[in-house]
Homo-oligomer: A and B are copies of this chain.
């Protein structure tokens, strides 16, 4: 059964990149956004499973690499934000690492881009729910992976479309940057999104916590802390 799964590397203070690069001055690779991004994704870049997919040599064959391989193997289709898709278009080259259909949430219509190795980029202008629905159809019974960035992940969570969330919590405090779980979730007063942790995998570089998303629930007053039972 197809599940919709998102995963993201975040710092201990919840950032997936440094402060957003405004395009001026030096290039993105030298920006604070890039510095934060490469810090929280260092464990991925070190993983053999990721490097193989990129066509790069080297890397570590370890638990972190197994987690990367697991995500690639589970995904039958991807949902992606426009900024990530645009940013990746050149570095991913002729044979991107996804090897599956990618549905890009965008306001700008564009023809589907066919790449080698099974990857295609389809530009969906009808919103995130339509992108998820089309990815579900294309996934062939495998999972739909929400591949980032933060804006599209939050939108999928906000609209109740997410079944599982895996956070790769990296032991660093960045202090500032692009925060994954920021305030635009449209929650009511004293309303929360409840989850259940279903797996924790612990390595020195990163703590991988997978959650089942249980959905919105009210925050009820619990006064057993005053001695009641």
Contacts and interface: CB of A to CB of B under 8 A. Distances in A.
Interface string A190-204: 111111110010101
Contacts of A46: 224
- This chain: copies in complex: 2
A80 B181 CA distance: 28
Q: State which size class the interface on A falls in.
A: 35 or more
B196 A207 contact: no
A76 interface: no
Most B CB within 10 A of own CB, among A29, A38, A157, A225:
A225
A201 B5 CA distance: 24
A151 interface: no
Contact of A207 (B35, B38, B200): B200
Interface stretch (A10-18, A99-107, A112-120): A10-18
Interface of A: 11-14, 18, 29-30, 32, 34-36, 38-39, 41-42, 45-46, 54-58, 91, 157, 167, 169, 171-176, 181-183, 185, 187, 189-197, 200, 202, 204, 207, 209, 211, 219-227, 229
